[in-house]
């Protein structure tokens, strides 16, 4: 069809770029635009429609991110395929045929859920390429050589993370962030009864991995900036402390951030006790605010991350990075434990992490998350809530009259499951009555807002009464 097609924009209210997106979608669905057809250049279409080039460019970018269109340098923008993945399909629409009224009312805020913004279409496309021509083959055990392309792509994915001197040989591919934590602890811990130090409220996966490795876990006191250096020093004395596990960039569950000056103080303490530092960076969605521990303490810093919170959790794809000179121990933990990721998964990782469309997808997911986070913050206004637009959960202090366990039970009854502070603390710890609300962007924002409003109604009506 070439560039002669021109959409007719509706006169309805709303942003013009959305009208252009809708017009293109309508043309594709009606067969007016087919696979391979070229769309008009941005400036030409903008002039014909009487709108700005930026408006048309934004519409083209949205549809390109969804894999509905493709942009080829020097050639133009073309229809890639019939409509297959819309940018954001709320679960009520996507799964309505499989859900009852109760399921449609339920909005799980226990763990973050990514919005569907075209990842599925991209992954299906790349899986097709792997099936047609697997670069590493499908008849051999995984080896270091078969993971080379995946490690290089992972290095590209981590390009904006301040990790200090690093090359592809320093990266070990893992089956998600939790697996990366387990591999690091396997590589580091030694002796009959080693000890790991964790934040007094910490990601439960640190404790679970330690339990499997028969290590003791000691919590360390925190303030609003993270672990207190003097508390780390005191905790490391008198035991076989070998690893300090921390989430300094996005602390789970408090949403706190450990600034550079505090990190530098903690490095001094770690060096004085020969403590390795394991940094879990799986929840960061934006730019790193400060240097990682691997950059600050190249001989002590271990780094773990994954794509679960930014692209998809389904692939269980993550990476671990050792301090310079210690990668061999991390590799041994991988190779002696499971040889390595399946070779087709390595092929997919190489394609996915290096795909130029991925950055736009993760940016869009971050933007959508931000809308949900702002909605939750607005709904809970007046209560003590920690939140950031680039963190997919909120940390809520319950008002007087609510205990965490009772509130979680009431939230479950209201079909809005949340996590109590106790799940992030040691078994014998005494914690304040707080809960974590994860962002579920897999449902429409209207359903999400209604769910948070149900929590607000609970907060406004605490059950605790004096009785005799």
Boundary (domain end) residue, out of 307, 322, 353: 353
Give the integer Cα–Cα distance in Å for 293 and 244. 11
- Under the banding of pLDDT at 50, 70 and 90, the label for residue 133 is confident
Give the integer Cα–Cα distance in Å for 260 and 255. 16
Same domain membership, residue 272 and residue 411? no
Please choose, from the candidates 43, 44, 33, 46, the residue with its C-alpha nearest in 3D space to the C-alpha of residue 1: 33
Residue-wise pLDDT tens digits, 67-109: 788 877 667 888 876 544 434 444 333 333 333 444 447 899 9
Residue 4's pLDDT is what? 63
Question: Any idea which of 19-33, 114-128, 347-361 has the lowest mean pLDDT?
Answer: 19-33
Q: Find where tokens 């710890």 sit.
A: 429
Cβ-proximal residues to 283 (8 Å cutoff; 6+ apart), any chain: 247, 249, 250, 252, 309, 391, 392, 393
Same domain membership, residue 408 and residue 331? no
C-beta separation of 278 from 210 below 8 A: no
- 97 is a domain residue: no
> What is the Cα Rg of the chain in Å?
25
Which DSSP helix (H) or strand (E) runs through 379?
Answer: helix 358-379
What's 35's domain CATH number?
Answer: 1.10.10.10
Same domain membership, residue 331 and residue 387? no
Number of folded domains that form the chain: 3
Residue 53's pLDDT is what? 75
Residue 177 pLDDT > 90: yes
* Residue 140 CB-density burial (10 A; 0-12 exposed, 13-18 middle, 19+ buried): exposed
Residue-wise pLDDT tens digits, 1-12: 455 677 777 666
- 271 is a domain residue: yes
Residue 73's pLDDT is what? 60
- 9 is a domain residue: no
Residue 464's pLDDT is what? 62
- 328 is a domain residue: yes
Residue-wise pLDDT tens digits, 191-222: 989 999 999 999 999 999 999 999 999 999 99
Share of the chain above pLDDT 90, in %: 68
- 125 is a domain residue: no
* C-alpha 453 chain-centroid distance: 25
Same domain membership, residue 44 and residue 167? no
Residue 146 pLDDT > 50: yes
Same domain membership, residue 310 and residue 164? yes
Q: What b/e readout covers 420-436, taking b as 16+ CB neighbours within 10 angstroms?
A: bbbbbbbeeeeeebbbb
- 343 is a domain residue: yes
What are the distances in angstroms from CA 171 to CA 301, 329, 355? 13, 12, 18
Average pLDDT over residues 56-61: 82
Boundary (domain end) residue, out of 309, 326, 353: 353
Same domain membership, residue 423 and residue 321? no
Same domain membership, residue 263 and residue 186? yes
Same domain membership, residue 324 and residue 366? no
Same domain membership, residue 235 and residue 298? yes
Higher pLDDT, 74 or 149: 149
Q: What do you get for the CA distance between the two ends of the chain, in Å?
A: 81
What's 164's domain CATH number?
Answer: 3.40.640.10
Q: Find where tokens 């057809």 sit.
A: 37
Residue 82's pLDDT is what? 57
Higher pLDDT, 98 or 51: 51
Give the integer Cα–Cα distance in Å for 218 and 300. 19
Same domain membership, residue 340 and residue 226? yes
Same domain membership, residue 342 and residue 202? yes
What's 398's domain CATH number?
Answer: 3.90.1150.10
Residue 417's pLDDT is what? 95
Neighbouring C-beta atoms of residue 211, cutoff 10 Å: 11
Residue 74's pLDDT is what? 67
SS3 435: strand
* C-alpha 329 chain-centroid distance: 27
Give the integer Cα–Cα distance in Å for 340 and 15. 48
Residue 465's pLDDT is what? 55
- 319 is a domain residue: yes
Give the integer Cα–Cα distance in Å for 239 and 466. 45
Same domain membership, residue 145 and residue 111? no
C-beta separation of 440 from 107 below 8 A: yes
Neighbouring C-beta atoms of residue 213, cutoff 10 Å: 14
Residue-wise pLDDT tens digits, 220-272: 999 999 999 999 999 999 899 999 999 999 999 999 999 999 999 999 999 99
Give the integer Cα–Cα distance in Å for 416 and 410. 9
| Domain extent for 47 | 16-79
Average pLDDT over residues 288-316: 96
- 229 is a domain residue: yes
Boundary (domain end) residue, out of 323, 353, 383: 353
What is the per-residue DSSP string for 16-71?
HHHHHHHHHHHHHHTTSS-TTPBPPPHHHHHHHHTS-HHHHHHHHHHHHHTTSEEE
Mean pLDDT, the chain, whole residue set: 88
């Amino acid at each position: 069809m070439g560039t002669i097609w021109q959409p007719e924009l509706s006169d309805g209210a709303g942003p013009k770029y959305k009208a252009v997106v809708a017009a293109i979608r309508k043309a594709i669905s009606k067969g007016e635009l087919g696979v391979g057809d070229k769309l008009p250049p941005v400036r030409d279409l903008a002039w014909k429609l009487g709108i700005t080039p930026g408006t048309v460019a934004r519409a083209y970018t949205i549809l390109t991110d969804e894999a509905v269109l493709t942009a080829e340098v020097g050639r133009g923008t073309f229809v890639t395929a019939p409509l297959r993945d819309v940018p954001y399909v709320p679960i009520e629409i996507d799964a309505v045929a499989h859900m009852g009224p109760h399921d449609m009312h339920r909005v799980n805020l226990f763990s973050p859920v990514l919005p569907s913004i075209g990842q599925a279409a991209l992954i299906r496309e790349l899986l097709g390429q792997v099936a047609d021509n697997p670069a590493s083959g499908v008849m051999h055990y995984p080896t270091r050589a078969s993971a080379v392309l995946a490690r290089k792509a992972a290095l590209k994915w981590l390009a904006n993370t301040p990790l200090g001197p690093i090359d592809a040989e320093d990266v070990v591919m893992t089956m998600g962030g939790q697996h990366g934590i387990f591999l690091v602890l396997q590589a580091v811990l030694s002796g009959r009864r080693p000890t790991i130090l964790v934040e007094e409220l910490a990601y439960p996966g640190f404790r679970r991995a330690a339990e499997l490795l028969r290590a003791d876990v000691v919590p360390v006191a925190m303030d609003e900036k993270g672990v207190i250096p003097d508390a780390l020093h005191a905790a490391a004395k008198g035991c076989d402390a070998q690893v300090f596990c921390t989430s300094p960039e996005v602390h789970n569950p408090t949403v706190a951030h450990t600034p550079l000056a505090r990190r530098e103080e903690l490095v001094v303490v770690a060096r004085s006790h020969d403590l390795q530092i394991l940094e879990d960076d799986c929840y960061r969605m934006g730019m790193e605010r400060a240097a990682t521990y691997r950059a600050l303490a190249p001989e002590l810093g271990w780094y773990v991350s994954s794509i679960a919170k930014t692209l998809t959790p389904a692939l269980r794809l993550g990476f671990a990075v050792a301090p310079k000179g210690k990668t061999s121990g991390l590799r041994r933990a991988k190779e002696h434990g499971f040889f390595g990721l399946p070779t087709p998964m390595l092929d997919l990782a190489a394609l996915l992490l290096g795909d130029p469309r991925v950055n736009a997808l993760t940016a869009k997911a971050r933007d959508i998350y931000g809308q949900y986070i702002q909605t939750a913050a607005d709904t809970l206004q007046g209560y003590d809530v920690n939140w950031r637009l680039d963190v997919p959960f909120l940390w809520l202090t319950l008002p007087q009259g609510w205990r965490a366990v009772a509130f979680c039970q009431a939230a479950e009854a209201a079909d809005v499951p949340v996590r109590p502070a106790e799940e992030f603390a040691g078994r014998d710890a005494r914690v304040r009555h707080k809960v974590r609300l994860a962002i579920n962007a897999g449902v429409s924002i209207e359903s999400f807002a209604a769910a948070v409003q149900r929590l607000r109604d609970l907060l406004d009506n605490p059950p605790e009464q004096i009785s005799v």
